Structure 1
Amino acid sequence: MHINILYSSNENYTRHAAASLYSLLENNTHINKISIYFIDDNITEESKQKLQSVVDSFKRQIYFIPIESLLVKFKKKDDFPLSGYARLFISNKFTNVDKILYLDCDTIVTGSLEELWNTDIDDYLVAGVQDNPAMYMSEIIGMNRKSRYINSGVMLMNLKYWREWDIENKIIDFVDKFKGEVPHHDQGLINGICKDKILIIHPKYNMMSQFLLYNVMQIKSLYNIENYYTQQSLDEATKTPIIVHYISKFYDRPWFTGCTHPMKGLYTDYLSKTTFDNKMYPSNQSYKVKLRKWVYNNLPFSIFGRLEKLLDIKRRRYISEKYNYLNIL
């Protein structure tokens, strides 16, 4: 078996990528061949050598791809990192690769990826775990209440199909439609363009923070979602995740001193096995997030839910005004 893995990072996230990479390789020694493709957004030679040492210790291969070789025609106006967009332009660069598993740098792999890799995606552009954006964020990119919107932090990508569907040019056109500022950045692009060809996979392959915070009924109520996972699936994901994704939510990230994520130890343990430093940073959570967190922790969920609905009115108004030229919301 030969598995292709994709990461994309600038210098700031290389140590997180190293922790993720180490966890992936340590928990998949049974796989015959693993090829790591790493999109390089101005990473220093020192950091690349440290990443190389992780891969060398497991006798695997890593290929660094200069980011400028991927974004020739891409133009954006938002402040989202280019490395987050670059992964959408690999299908024509890697013409000898038909399938690849993309992982965000802020993930930790805790088990075998064999079952995920063997998922049949011949009839799909991408497979991923369902996320829960506000409904207006789905509507603005052409989805609806019944649509199943995926998180882009873990994606099994059918590159052969991407080439056949000319997805890279569709991305350029989609960005132009939104004048360089697509809602939810790369995630909005993926869902807006691939919405009819997305396969939803088990949440254990992208165990996000909201699965720990809310039950299924709470998620469906907060985000006005019709089609979602069962409670059993979420319970399986939180008890035995294969990939942990450290989305901040109320926990903060595991490299911040105030992180309360119950699985932060996985990140720190794997980081300690690399040659990157393990420096912790002060929390950068806004006062608004801290206030919402206090309400969540100290008041009944019904009150928290009403507060979130009120905040959504303001957020929807902002999005509606920003994209009023589309006449969608």
Structure 2
Amino acid sequence: MSTLNVLYACDENYAPFAGISMFSLFENNRDIERIRVYLVSDNVTDKSLSLLRAQAESFERELIIIDAASIVDIIKKLNIPSYRGSYTTNFRMFFHTFVDPDVDKLLYIDCDTIVASSLAPLLTLDMQGKAVAVVRDSLTTSYKTLIGLDENDAYFNAGITFIDVKIWTEKKITERLLDHIQNVRSRYCNPDQDLLNIALRNDKYILPPEYNFQPSHRAFSDKTYFSAYRHTSYYSHEELENARKNPVILHTYRFIGDFPWHKGNVHPDTPIFDDYMKRSLWSDYEKKPAGRGMIFTIEKLMYRFLPKRLFFKIFAAFTTRQFEKQNAAIVEDMKKNTGSV
């Protein structure tokens, strides 16, 4: 029997979005015989867990709830820093402590996703001996050189990560990550994503963009995108166009300050998110404003009224500069506190 093993992690705030993502996963993968979902729960309420279980049962799928408390204890003992007051982003590093022994491949999916098509091709994917299969990140170019990567290294988005558990274990990837945190550097702008890119620099298989299709490619044409972002190596127009027409996983992360579940957003994935939300057990979810600051209000106005190409060039320059400033601030702070990075 073919089995797709999937990992989510969330707290109560993200439980509805994990549920909507799971609904899309179940709805569009009826062709897979067995789907087993692991959910690492960081204080998710009993009410939300009941809804998540009910949804899985309605599709006759397995949902295994993992209490995050023991993982948080491990993280604290190892002095791994939290991110915005939460340890959720680091849970995937410790999947080996709770997945069943028969799990050979594990698909980690962020909660801000819609699975729009079948994931069956992943079950027979030849990863060529690599520990993970991932998609390149659309918004990172020169920043990667500030964290120790070369200009020609492919920087990936870690929101969807297909893990070969055997290879991960054999190559001691978790140990590699922990060694870096404790002996090299523990804080980054994109905490787990930067760290994973460094540790898996030579251990990643690059997937086509449809497996983690990102908002910039939905909102802007390829011509506009490439006028602002110049990668040393990236997907071709043909690859992006195919992903645009046939997305497998839509990664609906923040766009102009909002997620598609925020009131008044301009997110390109809102129509498809709303469709799945209305068909899920969270159909009564009430959208609320993101409550972001003045910068995001101005950014949204610029997006609405400026020519798209001009806006995107400003956006790309600003984003790149922010990464540079944040990284410099983190490095300086770590030097003050520890005497080294």
TM-score by length of 2: 0.86
State the alpha-carbon separation in 2 of the partners of residues 313 and 272 from structure 1.
Answer: 38
Kindly indicate whether the alpha-carbon contact (under 8 Å) linking 1:78 and 1:181 is maintained by their aligned counterparts in 2: no
Q: Hey, what does 1:79 align to over in structure 2?
A: 84
State the alpha-carbon separation in 2 of the partners of residues 243 and 13 from structure 1.
Answer: 18
Kindly indicate whether the alpha-carbon contact (under 8 Å) linking 1:91 and 1:162 is maintained by their aligned counterparts in 2: no
Kindly indicate whether the alpha-carbon contact (under 8 Å) linking 1:208 and 1:245 is maintained by their aligned counterparts in 2: yes
Q: Secondary structure at the match of 1:272?
A: helix
**Deviation (angstroms), 1:184:** 0.4
Q: Secondary structure at the match of 2:150?
A: coil
The residue type paired with residue 136 of structure 2 is Q
Q: Which runs of 5+ in 2 are unaligned?
A: none
**Alpha carbon RMSD of aligned pairs, Å?**
2.7
Q: Which runs of 5+ in 1 are unaligned?
A: none
Q: Hey, what does 1:117 align to over in structure 2?
A: 123
Q: Hey, what does 2:330 align to over in structure 1?
A: 322
In structure 1, which of residues 249, 252, 268 is the aligned counterpart of residue 255 of structure 2?
249
**Deviation (angstroms), 1:90:** 0.6
Q: Hey, what does 1:41 align to over in structure 2?
A: 42
Alignment of 1:85-124 (within 5 A): 85-94=90-99, 95-124=101-130
The residue type paired with residue 9 of structure 2 is S
Kindly indicate whether the alpha-carbon contact (under 8 Å) linking 1:135 and 1:144 is maintained by their aligned counterparts in 2: no
* Cα separation, partners in 2 of 1:139 and 1:80, compared to 1, 3 Å: farther
State the alpha-carbon separation in 1 of the partners of residues 155 and 264 from structure 2.
Answer: 30
* Cα separation, partners in 2 of 1:221 and 1:31, compared to 1, 3 Å: same
Q: Hey, what does 2:26 align to over in structure 1?
A: 25
State the alpha-carbon separation in 1 of the partners of residues 6 and 312 from structure 2.
Answer: 39
The residue type paired with residue 145 of structure 1 is E
The residue type paired with residue 6 of structure 1 is L
Q: Secondary structure at the match of 1:15?
A: helix
**Deviation (angstroms), 1:196:** 0.8
- State, as a whole percentage, how many aligned pairs show the same letter: 27
> Does the alignment pair 1:7 with 2:8?
yes
Q: Number of aligned pairs?
A: 329
**Deviation (angstroms), 1:297:** 4.5
**Deviation (angstroms), 1:258:** 1.0
Q: Hey, what does 1:286 align to over in structure 2?
A: 293
Q: Secondary structure at the match of 2:108?
A: strand
The residue type paired with residue 82 of structure 1 is Y
The residue type paired with residue 2 of structure 1 is T
Residue by residue over 1:191-215, the C-alpha shift from the partner in whole angstroms, topping out at 9 and shown as x without a partner, is 1110111111111111110112344
Which deviates more from structure 2 when the two are superposed, residues 300-309 or residues 264-273? 300-309
Kindly indicate whether the alpha-carbon contact (under 8 Å) linking 2:81 and 2:187 is maintained by their aligned counterparts in 1: yes
State the alpha-carbon separation in 2 of the partners of residues 207 and 178 from structure 1.
Answer: 32
Q: Secondary structure at the match of 2:157?
A: strand
* Cα separation, partners in 2 of 1:55 and 1:308, compared to 1, 3 Å: closer
Alignment of 1:45-60 (within 5 A): 45-60=46-61
* Cα separation, partners in 2 of 1:48 and 1:170, compared to 1, 3 Å: same
Kindly indicate whether the alpha-carbon contact (under 8 Å) linking 2:37 and 2:62 is maintained by their aligned counterparts in 1: yes
Q: Secondary structure at the match of 2:202?
A: helix
In structure 2, which of residues 135, 138, 148 is the aligned counterpart of residue 142 of structure 1?
148
Which deviates more from structure 2 when the two are superposed, residues 291-300 or residues 119-128? 291-300
Which deviates more from structure 2 when the two are superposed, residues 240-249 or residues 93-102? 93-102
TM-score by length of 1: 0.89
* Cα separation, partners in 2 of 1:107 and 1:306, compared to 1, 3 Å: closer
Which deviates more from structure 2 when the two are superposed, residues 116-125 or residues 54-63? 116-125
> Does the alignment pair 1:61 with 2:62?
yes
* Cα separation, partners in 2 of 1:214 and 1:21, compared to 1, 3 Å: same
The residue type paired with residue 26 of structure 1 is E
Q: Hey, what does 1:165 align to over in structure 2?
A: 171
Q: Secondary structure at the match of 2:144?
A: helix
